[in-house]
Amino acid sequence: MLDWFARNARELPWRATRDPYAILVSEVMAQQTQVGRVVPPAEVITEWQGLGYNRRAVNLHRAARQVAAHGWPDDLTELPGVGRYTADAVACFAFGRDVLPEDVNVRRVQERAGATFTSAAAQALMDLGATVCLARVPRCGACPLEGGCPSRGRRFEPLRKQGPFEGSFRQRRSAALRAVVAGQKPDDEEAVAALARDGLVHVQEGLVSLPSPAP
Residue 27 designated active-site:
yes
Residue among 12, 6, 25, 10 nearest 127 (CA): 10
- Catalytic residue from among 27, 43, 47, 146: 27
Which value, in Å, is the radius of gyration of the alpha carbons in the chain? Answer: 20
Whose CA is closest to 69, among 61, 77, 58?
A: 61
207 CB neighbour count, 10 Å cutoff: 8
Q: Is 20 left (phi over 0), alpha (psi -120 to 50) or beta?
A: alpha
According to DSSP, residue 137 is labeled S
Secondary structure element (H or E) that encloses residue 80, with its range: none
Instruction: Decide if 210 contacts 180 (C-beta within 8 A).
Output: yes
Going by C-alpha positions, the residue among 141, 132, 72 that lies closest to residue 108 is 132
Instruction: Point out the residues that are catalytic.
Output: 27
